[in-house]
C-alpha cells in the first residue's frame, strides 16, 4: 500500500528542492489548503443550515451573490490575512483589492487573486462548485502597503495557481511551475492527500464545453467551430462551473470555450482570477489557453482587477483545430 502523502508533506518536500525557498511560500500554500477545508465543510452542509440562497447583492459582473459566496470569501480572506505571507488579496467578491494590515502583511512578499466560490449559481441545486486562486510576488516594496500594480501583473508572472473542486469528492489541484498535482480531501483524517501525481492533459478528446444557449450570439468563426464539434459527434458537457468543466478536460481531454457575445463583447470570464490561474494550470498540464482572437491568455496585458476576456482552453490538438476555424472564418465580414 502506498504511503499517504499529505498536501503539507508534499509542499514542504517540493519547496526543499528549491534552494531559495524561505518557507514563507510553503506557509501560504498550506493556509490555502486550510481555508479550502473550512469552505468545504460549509459547502457540504449548505442545505442543512441557512447558508443557501441569494445574499441580496450583486458582484462586479452583476452576478447575484450567494450566501455561500460571502462565507467562502470571508474565510479565504481571514485565513490568508493571518498567514503573515500575504500583503493583499483581490477577489471576485470585492470591487477593490484588500490590503492586509501591516501587523499581518508587513514584509509579506505575495498577493493572492481569487474567485472564492466559482459557479456558485449551482450551489442551490447541489452541483459542484470551485475555488480558483493565483499567487503573484508583489512588485511594491515590502516596507509599504500593497498597491494596485501588485495585482495588475500578466499571467506569466504567476508563481503558483490552482483550484479546489467541491464535487463528489473535494480536490485541490495546483502547480508552482513544475507540473500539476491533485490532492483529494480525506475527511476521516481531515487532510488533502496526494491522489493525482503529475496530471497530464490528453492531447485530444471528444468533449466540448460551451454554453450552447448563446450559440446565435457568438461570432461566425466560433459558430462554425461548434458546428464542427457537433459534426464530429463530440459530447457536449457544460455545467456552468468553470472549475468543473475544465477539471473534466484535464483528465479526459476536450475543449472549453467562453467566447465573447453581444452581452459580453469582451468576454464574461475575469482575466485576473479566473482565466490566468486556469490557463496556468492548463499549460502546466500540457494544454493550450487562448483568447478567441488566438492571443495567449498568459501574455494578455491587464489594466483593471475585473477585466474580462474571451477564452478557449483545453487539449492542444483540439485548440489547434479551433485556431484553423478562426483563421478561416475570423476575417469574414459577419
Q: Which residues bind ligand P6P (CB under 6 A)?
A: 63, 118-119, 121, 211, 240-242, 258, 268-269
Cβ proximity to ligand P6P: between 7 and 275 the closer is: 275
Catalytic residue among 31, 42, 118, 219: 118
The distance in angstroms from the start CA to the end CA of the chain is: 59
The three cell numbers of residue 189 are: 483524517
Catalytic residue among 28, 117, 158, 272: 117
Min CB(119)–ligand P6P separation in Å: 4
Q: 157 an active-site residue? A: no
Cβ proximity to ligand P6P: between 77 and 242 the closer is: 242
Catalytic residue among 31, 85, 93, 221: 93
Min CB(10)–ligand P6P separation in Å: 27
Catalytic residue among 115, 191, 221, 245: 115
Min CB(106)–ligand P6P separation in Å: 34
Min CB(109)–ligand P6P separation in Å: 29
SS3 label, residue 69: helix
Cβ proximity to ligand P6P: between 181 and 241 the closer is: 241
Cβ proximity to ligand P6P: between 60 and 211 the closer is: 211
Asked if 311 and 289 count as a contact pair (C-beta separation under 8 A), the reply is: yes
Q: 92 an active-site residue? A: yes
Catalytic residue among 31, 42, 85, 92: 92
Report the distance separating Cα 182 and Cα 196, nearest Å.
Answer: 5
The three cell numbers of residue 24 are: 514563507
Catalytic residue among 31, 69, 150, 191: 69
The three cell numbers of residue 100 are: 492586509
Q: 118 an active-site residue? A: yes
Sheet strands (E) in the chain: 54-58, 64-66, 86-91, 98-99, 110-118, 129-137, 158-166, 170-175, 181-186, 191-196, 207-209, 235-236, 255-258, 269-270, 288-290, 308-309, 311-314
Cβ proximity to ligand P6P: between 36 and 269 the closer is: 269
Residue nearest ligand P6P, Cβ-based: 242
Cβ proximity to ligand P6P: between 167 and 240 the closer is: 240
Min CB(44)–ligand P6P separation in Å: 20
Q: 191 an active-site residue? A: no
Cβ proximity to ligand P6P: between 42 and 92 the closer is: 92
Q: 111: which strand partners? A: 88, 136
Q: 117 an active-site residue? A: yes
Q: What is the largest CA-CA distance in the chain?
A: 61
Asked if 38 and 79 count as a contact pair (C-beta separation under 8 A), the reply is: yes
Min CB(243)–ligand P6P separation in Å: 7
Q: 93 an active-site residue? A: yes
Q: 115 an active-site residue? A: yes
Min CB(14)–ligand P6P separation in Å: 28
Catalytic residue among 63, 64, 74, 317: 63
The three cell numbers of residue 252 are: 479526459
Q: Could you tell me the CA-to-CA distances from 169 to 149, 166, 201, 289 in Å, in that order? A: 37, 6, 20, 26
DSSP H helical ranges for 17-111: 24-44, 67-81, 102-105
Catalytic positions are 63, 69, 92-93, 115, 117-118, 274
Amino acid at each position: 500500500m502506498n504511503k499517504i502523502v499529505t498536501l503539507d508533506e508534499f509542499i514542504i518536500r517540493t519547496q526543499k528542492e528549491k534552494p531559495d525557498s524561505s518557507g514563507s511560500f510553503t506557509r501560504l500554500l498550506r493556509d490555502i489548503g486550510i481555508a479550502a477545508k473550512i469552505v468545504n465543510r460549509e459547502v457540504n452542509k449548505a442545505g442543512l443550515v441557512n447558508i443557501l440562497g441569494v445574499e441580496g447583492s450583486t458582484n462586479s459582473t452583476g452576478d447575484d451573490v450567494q450566501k455561500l459566496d460571502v462565507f467562502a470569501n470571508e474565510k479565504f480572506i481571514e485565513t490568508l490575512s493571518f498567514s503573515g505571507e500575504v500583503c493583499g488579496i483581490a477577489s471576485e467578491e470585492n470591487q477593490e483589492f484588500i490590503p492586509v494590515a501591516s501587523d499581518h502583511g508587513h514584509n509579506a512578499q505575495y498577493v493572492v487573486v481569487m474567485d472564492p466560490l466559482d459557479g456558485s449559481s449551482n450551489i442551490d441545486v447541489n452541483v459542484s462548485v470551485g475555488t480558483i486562486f493565483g499567487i503573484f510576488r508583489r512588485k511594491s516594496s515590502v516596507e509599504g502597503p500593497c498597491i494596485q500594480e501588485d495585482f495588475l501583473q500578466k499571467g506569466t508572472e504567476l508563481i503558483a495557481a490552482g483550484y479546489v473542486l467541491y464535487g463528489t469528492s473535494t480536490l485541490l489541484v495546483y502547480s508552482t511551475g513544475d507540473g500539476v498535482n491533485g490532492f483529494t480531501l480525506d475527511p476521516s483524517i481531515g487532510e488533502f492527500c496526494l491522489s493525482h501525481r503529475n496530471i497530464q492533459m490528453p492531447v485530444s478528446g471528444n468533449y466540448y464545453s460551451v454554453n450552447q444557449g448563446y450559440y446565435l450570439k457568438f461570432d461566425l468563426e466560433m459558430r462554425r467551430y461548434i458546428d464542427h464539434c457537433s459534426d464530429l459527434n463530440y459530447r457536449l458537457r457544460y455545467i456552468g462551473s468553470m472549475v468543473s468543466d475544465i477539471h473534466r478536460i484535464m483528465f479526459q481531454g476536450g475543449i472549453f470555450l467562453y467566447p465573447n457575445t453581444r452581452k459580453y463583447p469582451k468576454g464574461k470570464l475575469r482575466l485576473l482570477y479566473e482565466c490566468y490561474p486556469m490557463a496556468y494550470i492548463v499549460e502546466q498540464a500540457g494544454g493550450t489557453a487562448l483568447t478567441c482572437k488566438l492571443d495567449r491568455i498568459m501574455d494578455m496585458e491587464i489594466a483593471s482587477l475585473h477585466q474580462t476576456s474571451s477564452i478557449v482552453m483545453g487539449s492542444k490538438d483540439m485548440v489547434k483545430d479551433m485556431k484553423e476555424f478562426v483563421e478561416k472564418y475570423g476575417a469574414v465580414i459577419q
